[in-house]
Amino acid sequence: MTASPTQLHILNQADYDRYRVPSDLGSFGSLQTASGILPLQSMSLQGHISGLLYQLKLVQRFYNPYNQPLEATYIFPLPGRAAVSSFVMQTEQRRVIGRLEERGEARRQYQQAVAQGKQAALAEEERSEVFTMTVGNIPPHQFVEVEMELHGPLTFADGRAMFRFPLVVAPRYIPGTPYSGEGVGQGVATDTNAVPDASRISPPVLLPGYPNPVQLGVNIQVDTGGLIFGLPEVSMPDLLCWNEPAGFRISLQPTADRLDRDLIVRFPLPSPQMQSSFQISNGYYVLNLIPDDLHQMGPQTPRQVVTLLDRSGSMAGWKMVCARRAVGRLIDSLTDRDAFQVLNFDDRIEYLDPRKTHLRWASDRERYLALEALGKVNDRGGTEILPAIQAGVNMLRGQADPYLILITDGQVGNESEVLRWIQQNAQGIRIFTVGIDTAVNVSLLERIAQVSGGHFTLVTSEDQLDEEMLGLRRRINPPLLSRVSIQLPGAESSPASVDLFQGLAARQMGFVRGHVGHEVEVVGYARDGRAFRNRLPVTHCGGQTIEKMWARERVLELEHGFLAGWKQPAYQPAAIAQFALQHGVLCRFTAFVAVDEQSFVPGPMHQVTQAVSAPDGQAMHKRMSVSAPMQSKAKTGSLAPSPRMAEHPGMRNKPTLGGGGFFSQSPPPACSVPGGFQASDPFASPDPFASAGADPFVSAGADPFAAAPGADPFAAPGADPFASAGADPFSAPPAPDPFAEPVAFEFEAAPMAEPALDCGSVWQSVPLPAPAPPAAAPPLRRAAPKLESGPASGWKADAVQDEVQAALQLARGASSSRDWNLALQALIEALVRRGFQLNQLEPLQDLLRRVQSMHGPVTAASAWLQQVEKWVNSLLHNPASARADNFWM
């Protein structure tokens, strides 16, 4: 194995035996009990990846080191898109297959079993990426293993397929005011009115020096299916990849690992090899769409781009540097026809320059000033994402081609609030999210991008930033093809229609009743209205993966509808639970439970919640450990309003042991400042579970928002899906009109006339000539960018339709009789090529004869135009009704 961990290494038999991961992690009792008292001993991930789908088995092993029965609670992540389809509990005596039940019922069964002294296990979902495993009544000094089977997809972007398996739930910022009742979970955060289940998604955090004995083993076989993969990049340096006859094998021998980052493997797949594909199994299908060889020709239309930069305390360290560079790259990529603004937010929102509060033209000077001001943005307070998104959306309201870019790690607890607001208020604005960390809240950021028609980009280290930003820059544009859907009668797909962006694969999964032929057709629409069609061969395959994955996708959509407050019966918890039970997937409203009926464990039960490491990117926790050097820069001035230090009456001006925290007996370091309570404050950044002291929506005191006494936006009638009949909540946002002139912005220049002072007659104010406004953008040409498909593309434009439209376009521009002559001839030709008979086109021929007998300008041009368009449209859509005598009516 060479020094670089990402190179392939062809092993001989001896090496293979040395590195081979044993398929069972040892028999019971053979593993030495580790020194820690945390119950989770090991995790193993085994399975295979074929095509862009994977099937894995995750095994978690718990051990009870105490002398009384133990209930272990573990709050852990799974890939959000993966379907959990089976659950097995293996105790030292028995193997019990778990059942999927409605969540309340499963919890009751678990609690009843545990009260009776039986061994039981319960797996629940809190967020699409956060799950809780509760294993109860583990007998003293015994093991229990739980196994879960997962089916999930890989994502494909910019020529690389990515397999991502999260391994840690990071600490999240929890806004809102705390509830006064009991917490609903075993985590460390308090439930608030913004995050009612905060205590279910917040495991305790281990300090960096804690000896973390969790053993992680990975053994995944990758079947490349004849495609040639490049060298994979992996996120963990100890991960081995080696060649096998059918593809790759990825493995990690079980070593004690600090689970502080996601397991990510990226396989470069040269684009020419990737084809759009359609796979079907028992009526459940998955459609992978690649925009192969589609090119956008023509000038770029002006865009309005607002970037939201997260500068909260959790972004400290390399993440802040990375985020600033990302914003810098994006600003660099704008042209002087675009307009932009950057807002940085933590628990307040600020502009880069407080005097420049509107969208600015992206001239060279503005971009330079913005980049300069970016350099001073440092991490600070808590993460209030929702006010920032609201501000960004308000700023972009009414713009022609608006884009909102959110750069954050997404570690907040109030995801349902955010998604609900975006669903109801941000229609028409594409939101692109960039997640920066080794363990990002992918479920929130991906969901935001999906509901708004944007895309989520993951950046796990500074080296990746440049290439990810390169890809993102190309995509901050209207999609190449929008409203792409499959033309299959009787098919329901989730999502209902997708947008195809440059360099990205889009996936649609669905269910079709009835017979499917050898080919299916997919149609999408370019910006100029042309339809592009692709015919794909149908591949039949077996197995349950596609069904489970579609069920998971559909259940995520339904849950999203529930969180967004839709009132239709399909989005109610009971209906969602029934759907999930029917297809056997875990969701928020169902849970797996396994009870060993024949076991009995006497004695009172002790409860322990598994503590986890903070992710690699959260430098805050590293700073707080004693081994780290003291931070002498006093951050008190920049502390957010929350959390406030209580002025305790007993607090004096000398370093006290309580306030100085855990530095106890060690002599105060030389850099401590007299009045040293605050300089030696280890909590220089607020801890992530602090409830916001100044709730920006409640206390109008300290925050810059004028708390508008508006009505509750969630009561707005416009949000009711029944109000707008036929509105599909999951349809893509309406495409912005590329021809609309951008709204005039406020220029810096102010009218000069009025004198503000009246200091007597000495003064005579002479108005200055107004300074020249910034150079206006070059006038927008009326030609829209055209989409062209190259020779290697599967996408074919509807040429014939285009001809008719082109002829109509000619007619629109026609004013003289000669123009009309040409236009009508072209129109008749196009319709004939379309398949119509000449005798059906009598009215047009009549008109043509009339025009040919005229000379000079045509006076009734507009009336003719109207009639012609109406008649041609009715002919195209319903030939039977378009009769000759309809023409002049």
Positions in 276-315 near other proteins (CB under 8 A): none
Query: Which lies closer to other proteins via its Cβ, residue 487 or residue 699?
Result: 699
Q: DSSP string of 45-96?
A: EEEEEETTEEEEEEEEEEE--SSS-EEEEEEEE--TT-EEEEEEEEESS-EE
The window from 175-183, 270-278, 368-376, 498-506 that contacts other proteins (CB under 8 A) reads 175-183
Is residue 880 part of the contact set for other proteins (CB under 8 A)?
no
283, 253, 211: which is closest to 493 by C-alpha? 283
Is residue 207 part of the contact set for other proteins (CB under 8 A)?
yes
SS (H, E, C) 465-484: HHHHHHHHHHHCCCCCEEEE
d(CA 201, CA 386): 19
Query: Which lies closer to other proteins via its Cβ, residue 117 or residue 661?
Result: 661
Query: Which lies closer to other proteins via its Cβ, residue 520 or residue 591?
Result: 591
Query: Which lies closer to other proteins via its Cβ, residue 713 or residue 857?
Result: 713
In whole angstroms, the minimum distance from the beta carbon of 736 to other proteins comes to: 22
Is residue 190 part of the contact set for other proteins (CB under 8 A)?
yes
Is residue 386 part of the contact set for other proteins (CB under 8 A)?
yes
Query: Which lies closer to other proteins via its Cβ, residue 401 or residue 415?
Result: 415
d(CA 797, CA 788): 8
Q: Exactly one of 12, 23, 30, 665 binds other proteins (CB under 8 A); which one?
A: 665
Is residue 193 part of the contact set for other proteins (CB under 8 A)?
yes
In whole angstroms, the minimum distance from the beta carbon of 475 to other proteins comes to: 27
d(CA 554, CA 546): 12
Amino acid at 257: D
What end-to-end distance do the CA atoms of the chain give, in Å?
82
Residue carrying the six token digits 């059942």: 99
Largest CA distance in the chain: 107
* One character per residue 541-570, x = contact with other proteins (rule: CB under 8 A): ----------------------x-x-----
Q: In the range 793-852, which residues lie near other proteins by CB under 8 A?
A: none
* One character per residue 237-276, x = contact with other proteins (rule: CB under 8 A): ----------------------------------------
736 CB burial (10 A radius; 0-12, 13-18, 19+): buried
Is residue 646 part of the contact set for other proteins (CB under 8 A)?
yes
* Residue 222 CB partners (closer than 8 Å, separation 6+): 48, 49, 50, 229, 247, 248, 249, 250, 267
80, 740, 735: which is closest to 430 by C-alpha? 735
Q: In the range 575-604, which residues lie near other proteins by CB under 8 A?
A: 588-589
* Total of chain residues touching other proteins, rule CB under 8 A: 120
Is residue 210 part of the contact set for other proteins (CB under 8 A)?
yes
Query: Which lies closer to other proteins via its Cβ, residue 706 or residue 792?
Result: 706
Is residue 143 part of the contact set for other proteins (CB under 8 A)?
no
Q: Exactly one of 47, 643, 721, 774 binds other proteins (CB under 8 A); which one?
A: 643
Q: Exactly one of 53, 56, 168, 206 binds other proteins (CB under 8 A); which one?
A: 206
Query: Which lies closer to other proteins via its Cβ, residue 750 or residue 783?
Result: 750
CA 538 to chain centre: 30
In whole angstroms, the minimum distance from the beta carbon of 36 to other proteins comes to: 7
Query: Which lies closer to other proteins via its Cβ, residue 517 or residue 604?
Result: 604
Is residue 667 part of the contact set for other proteins (CB under 8 A)?
no
Is residue 748 part of the contact set for other proteins (CB under 8 A)?
yes
Which residue(s) pair with 506 in the sheet?
289
Is residue 498 part of the contact set for other proteins (CB under 8 A)?
no
In whole angstroms, the minimum distance from the beta carbon of 596 to other proteins comes to: 24
- Map residue 423 onto helix, strand or coil: helix
The window from 176-184, 361-369, 486-494, 516-524 that contacts other proteins (CB under 8 A) reads 176-184
CB 537 within 8 A of CB 278: yes
Is residue 76 part of the contact set for other proteins (CB under 8 A)?
no
In whole angstroms, the minimum distance from the beta carbon of 668 to other proteins comes to: 14
Q: Exactly one of 267, 525, 689, 820 binds other proteins (CB under 8 A); which one?
A: 689
Amino acid at 697: F
Is residue 141 part of the contact set for other proteins (CB under 8 A)?
no
Q: In the range 694-733, which residues lie near other proteins by CB under 8 A?
A: 696-697, 703-710, 712-714
Q: Exactly one of 255, 632, 765, 866 binds other proteins (CB under 8 A); which one?
A: 765
CA 473 to chain centre: 17
Q: In the range 83-112, which residues lie near other proteins by CB under 8 A?
A: 103-104
The window from 1-9, 254-262, 319-327, 640-648 that contacts other proteins (CB under 8 A) reads 640-648
In whole angstroms, the minimum distance from the beta carbon of 108 to other proteins comes to: 9
Residue carrying the six token digits 């678990």: 110
Query: Which lies closer to other proteins via its Cβ, residue 249 or residue 380?
Result: 380
Buried b (16+ CB within 10 A) or exposed e, 774-795: beebeebeeebbebebeeebbb
Q: Exactly one of 759, 775, 792, 860 binds other proteins (CB under 8 A); which one?
A: 759
d(CA 587, CA 584): 10
Which residue(s) pair with 500 in the sheet?
481
In whole angstroms, the minimum distance from the beta carbon of 697 to other proteins comes to: 5
Is residue 628 part of the contact set for other proteins (CB under 8 A)?
no
Lookup: tokens for 591: 């849970």
Using DSSP bridges, classify how beta strands 531-540 and 277-281 pair: parallel, antiparallel or unpaired.
parallel
Residue carrying the six token digits 């349950």: 544
Residue carrying the six token digits 């006010």: 387
d(CA 471, CA 490): 36
CB 403 within 8 A of CB 472: no
Query: Which lies closer to other proteins via its Cβ, residue 716 or residue 723?
Result: 716
- Map residue 542 onto helix, strand or coil: coil
Q: Exactly one of 199, 276, 534, 672 binds other proteins (CB under 8 A); which one?
A: 199
Q: Exactly one of 7, 357, 487, 873 binds other proteins (CB under 8 A); which one?
A: 357
CB 639 within 8 A of CB 686: yes
Is residue 188 part of the contact set for other proteins (CB under 8 A)?
yes
Is residue 764 part of the contact set for other proteins (CB under 8 A)?
yes
Query: Which lies closer to other proteins via its Cβ, residue 654 or residue 796?
Result: 654
In whole angstroms, the minimum distance from the beta carbon of 404 to other proteins comes to: 14
Give CA separation, 650 vs 72, 142, 583, 661, in Å.
40, 48, 61, 16
Is residue 194 part of the contact set for other proteins (CB under 8 A)?
yes
Is residue 30 part of the contact set for other proteins (CB under 8 A)?
no
E strand segments, 78-157: 83-91, 95-97, 99-102, 119-127, 130-138, 143-153, 155-157
CB 302 within 8 A of CB 401: yes
